[in-house]
């Protein structure tokens, strides 16, 4: 329910602040007074796109703020989904800047225009001449039937199943497509995998092979250096070990003559042990190193294979080759298991399809039962609105595939007069007839589902007299279950309101301002009298106005 509206710096409005109440609210005003401006400002806070022409003063920002009571709308899940603070009194604000940019807020949290639009659609249903085009949309027509059929829970379950079914169908198609391509490449990938596996790859392999190759390829040089080094270490006269042995003996004799000599002796002993160990290892290397042409050739072949694989797979090292091998192994394995995966997905799809068929059948059955009731209610209400011969032909047929709305194709035809052929609404109904049909449908919907605040923008255009009186009665009856607004130019409708607001223009010097205020009882009498007979008030017009208000 809309409780407060504030509009600042919008079109002809400097500042407008107004409170609204439950029940039936009527808004009147002369042509050009700014009723459309008021509705335009409200549309902005409901998510309509804005432009700079909205600003009255191009140097200041435009601010539109609306306060709603939302406790009975079941919107907590919407707030949770969009990470917004839920408040029973929710404030929606829109700011349009001189730069052309705009910002939107819900309870002071910034939101995107899409989120604002989604919430706006749940708070206020604005009916205008343009909205009558929705009457021709199957989705809207089915929504009406489903309200009478009490299909809300069934449709929720159906759409959950449909989402899972479509996901499975998409996954199955992807598997089948992949299977086709995979079979083409399976042999090639298997060959590549076998080639990599036969190379017995491991991390550090390339470095080890390169070191081994260098040693084998330079064995003569290595042996020459090992022999010469052995001589330097073990020569009987001037070998390093011979000289160190003598040095060790002398340092040992000095050790008893002071701590400094003892420390020096320890260092000499340490050097001797290290050099002795080096000599032993050096001798081992010399004795075990030998030429091995066969191993050299084998090592060279492994290196060449490794370089060929690196070049073939366009990777920098063995680690990357191992990753390639793993990926190929997985791909080959997946290809070999694809048949099983496809069969499992096909079985799942059949199960989901059976569940969908069952719930879709239930929805269709309930729709068929609701159609005669809808046709009768529409016919009865339209008869009250001056269309006694109006009738509908509503038929369901099986759709070839699952749709978001079920598995039905809908034919929704209309005839305004006896003896005339049925045809699509937008082709056979006039603008005035479409407005009355839409009002009738909204009235029917109001009996079966919780509708948001309803705002009718001159829905009574093209009607007068007793028909307008009946339209007012219908909107007044709807207001017992929801907040209803009617922007009207007919006194018969305006007289039905629980509250009456007037939109008017006020000139101040060289500027014109659009304003709005709530009328008291006497002001309503004058406003209705002017709507009946013009600015020149007559006693009969005033009497008629009072009669309408009783």
User: What would the DSSP string read from start to end of 151-201?
Assistant: -HHHHHHHHHHHHHHHHHHHHHHHHHHHHHHHHHHHHHHHHHHHHHHHTT-
Q: Which two tokens stand for residue 169?
A: 């169908």
Query: What is the tens place of the pLDDT at every residue in 481-517?
Result: 899 999 998 999 999 999 999 999 888 877 888 899 9
Backbone angles phi, psi at 89, to 5 degrees: -100, 100
Is the pLDDT at 350 greater than 60? The verdict is yes
Residue-averaged pLDDT of the chain: 89
Query: What is the tens place of the pLDDT at every residue in 281-293?
Result: 999 998 888 888 8
Higher pLDDT: 191 or 168? It is 168
pLDDT of residue 537: 84
Query: What is the tens place of the pLDDT at every residue in 397-421?
Result: 999 999 999 999 998 899 988 888 8
Query: What is the tens place of the pLDDT at every residue in 105-118?
Result: 999 999 999 999 99
Higher pLDDT: 188 or 354? It is 354
Question: How sure is the predictor about 352, in pLDDT bands with cuts at 50, 70 and 90?
Answer: very high
Q: What is the DSSP letter of 207?
A: H
Q: What average pLDDT score do residues 434-453 get?
A: 85
pLDDT of residue 496: 95
Q: Which two tokens stand for residue 487?
A: 């922007």
- The pLDDT > 90 percentage for the chain reads 49
Backbone angles phi, psi at 519, to 5 degrees: -90, 140
Question: How sure is the predictor about 140, in pLDDT bands with cuts at 50, 70 and 90?
Answer: confident
Per-residue burial over 329-347, b = 16 or more CB atoms within 10 Å of its CB, e = otherwise = eebbeebeebeeeeeebee
Beta strands in 337-442 (DSSP E): 391-403, 406-415, 423-424
Higher pLDDT: 53 or 193? It is 193
Backbone angles phi, psi at 537, to 5 degrees: -70, 135
**Beta strand pairing status for 24-28 and 484-487?**
parallel
CB 335 within 8 A of CB 192: no
Sign (positive/negative) of CA torsion 371, 372, 373, 376? positive
pLDDT of residue 506: 87
C-alpha–C-alpha distance, residues 457 and 434, integer Å: 14
Higher pLDDT: 406 or 139? It is 406
Q: How many CB atoms lie within 10 A of CB 490?
A: 24
pLDDT of residue 435: 81
Question: How sure is the predictor about 246, in pLDDT bands with cuts at 50, 70 and 90?
Answer: confident
Q: What average pLDDT score do residues 182-205 get?
A: 84
C-alpha–C-alpha distance, residues 186 and 337, integer Å: 12
pLDDT of residue 427: 84
Q: How many helices (H) and strands (E) does the chain have?
A: 17, 15
Q: What is the DSSP string of 308-320?
A: HHHHHTT-SSHHH
pLDDT of residue 134: 66
Is the pLDDT at 448 greater than 90? The verdict is no
Question: How sure is the predictor about 133, in pLDDT bands with cuts at 50, 70 and 90?
Answer: low
Sign (positive/negative) of CA torsion 465, 466, 471, 475? positive
Higher pLDDT: 269 or 185? It is 269
C-alpha–C-alpha distance, residues 119 and 528, integer Å: 35
Question: How sure is the predictor about 177, in pLDDT bands with cuts at 50, 70 and 90?
Answer: confident
pLDDT of residue 376: 93
Is the pLDDT at 129 greater than 60? The verdict is no
Q: Which residues contact 485 (CB under 8 A, 6 or more apart)?
A: 2, 20, 25, 26, 27, 453, 454, 455, 456
Q: Which two tokens stand for residue 510?
A: 């060289």
Q: What average pLDDT score do residues 345-349 get?
A: 95
Q: Which two tokens stand for residue 440?
A: 């009738």
Q: What average pLDDT score do residues 444-463 get?
A: 83
The total number of residues written for the chain in this structure: 550
Q: What average pLDDT score do residues 310-322 get?
A: 90
510 burial via Cβ count (<10 Å: 0-12, 13-18, 19+): exposed
Is the pLDDT at 178 greater than 60? The verdict is yes
What SS3 class is residue 233? helix
Taking the model in full, what pTM does it have? 0.66
What CA dihedral angle connects 273, 276, 281 and 283, to 10 degrees?
-170
Question: How sure is the predictor about 169, in pLDDT bands with cuts at 50, 70 and 90?
Answer: very high
Helix (H) or strand (E) holding 331: helix 318-384
Question: How sure is the predictor about 130, in pLDDT bands with cuts at 50, 70 and 90?
Answer: low
pLDDT of residue 180: 79
CB 144 within 8 A of CB 441: yes
* Choice among 94-98, 182-186, 307-311 with the minimum mean pLDDT: 182-186
C-alpha–C-alpha distance, residues 490 and 460, integer Å: 7
Higher pLDDT: 286 or 135? It is 286
pLDDT of residue 328: 86
Query: What is the tens place of the pLDDT at every residue in 469-480?
Result: 899 999 999 999
Is the pLDDT at 8 greater than 60? The verdict is yes
pLDDT of residue 87: 93
The gap between the terminal CA atoms of the chain, to the nearest Å, is 27
Is the pLDDT at 17 greater than 60? The verdict is yes
Q: What is the DSSP letter of 129?
A: G
Is the pLDDT at 68 greater than 80? The verdict is yes
Higher pLDDT: 299 or 337? It is 299
């Amino acid at each position: 329910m809309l409780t407060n509206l504030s509009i600042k710096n919008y079109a002809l409005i400097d500042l407008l602040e107004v409170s609204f109440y439950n029940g039936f609210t009527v808004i009147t005003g002369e042509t050009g007074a700014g009723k459309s401006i008021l509705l335009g400002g409200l549309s902005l806070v409901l998510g309509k796109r804005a432009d700079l022409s909205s600003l009255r003063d191009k140097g200041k920002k435009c601010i539109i703020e609306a306060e709603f009571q939302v406790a009975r709308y079941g919107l907590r899940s919407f707030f949770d989904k969009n990470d917004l603070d839920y408040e029973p009194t929710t404030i929606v604000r829109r700011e349009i800047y001189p730069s052309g940019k705009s910002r939107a807020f819900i309870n002071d949290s910034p939101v995107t225009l899409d989120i604002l639009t989604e919430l706006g659609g749940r708070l206020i249903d604005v009916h205008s001449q343009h909205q009558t085009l929705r009457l021709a949309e199957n989705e809207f027509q089915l929504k009406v039937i489903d309200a009478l059929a009490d299909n809300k829970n069934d449709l929720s379950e159906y759409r959950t199943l449909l989402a899972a079914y479509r996901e499975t169908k998409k996954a199955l198609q992807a598997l089948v497509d992949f299977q086709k391509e995979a079979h083409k490449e399976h042999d090639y990938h298997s060959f590549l995998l076998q080639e990599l596996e036969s190379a017995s790859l491991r991390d550090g392999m390339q470095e080890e092979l390169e070191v081994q190759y260098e040693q084998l390829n330079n064995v003569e040089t290595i042996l020459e250096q090992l022999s010469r080094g052995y001589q330097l270490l073990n020569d009987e006269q001037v070998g390093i070990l011979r000289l160190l042995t003598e040095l060790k003996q002398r340092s040992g004799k000095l050790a008893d003559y002071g701590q400094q000599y003892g420390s020096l002796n320890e260092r000499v002993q340490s050097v001797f042990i290290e050099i002795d160990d080096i000599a032993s290892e050096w001798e081992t290397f010399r004795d075990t190193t030998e030429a091995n042409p066969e191993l050299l050739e084998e090592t060279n072949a492994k290196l060449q294979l490794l370089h060929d694989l690196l070049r073939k797979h366009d990777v920098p090292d063995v680690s990357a080759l191992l990753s390639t091998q793993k990926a190929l192994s997985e791909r080959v394995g997946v290809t070999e298991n694809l048949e099983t995966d496809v069969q499992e997905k096909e079985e799942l799809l059949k199960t989901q399809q059976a569940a969908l068929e069952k719930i879709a059948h239930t929805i269709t059955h309930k729709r068929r039962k609701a159609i005669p009731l809808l046709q009768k209610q529409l016919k009865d209400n339209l008869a009250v609105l001056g269309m006694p011969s109006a009738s509908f032909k509503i038929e369901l047929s099986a759709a070839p595939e699952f749709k978001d709305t079920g598995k039905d194709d809908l034919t929704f035809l209309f005839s305004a007069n006896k003896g005339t052929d049925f045809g699509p609404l937008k082709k056979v109904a006039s603008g005035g007839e479409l407005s009355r049909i839409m009002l009738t449908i909204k009235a029917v919907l109001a009996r079966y589902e919780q509708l948001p605040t309803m705002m009718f923008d001159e829905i009574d255009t093209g009607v007068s007299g007793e028909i307008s009186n009946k339209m007012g009665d219908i909107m007044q009856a709807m207001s017992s279950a929801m907040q209803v607004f009617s922007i009207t130019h007919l006194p018969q409708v305006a007289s039905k309101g629980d509250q009456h607001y007037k939109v008017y223009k006020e000139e101040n010097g060289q500027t014109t301002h659009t304003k709005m205020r709530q009328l008291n009882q006497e002001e309503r009498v004058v406003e209705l009298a002017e709507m009946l007979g013009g600015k020149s008030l007559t006693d009969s017009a005033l009497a008629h106005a009072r009669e309408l208000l009783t």
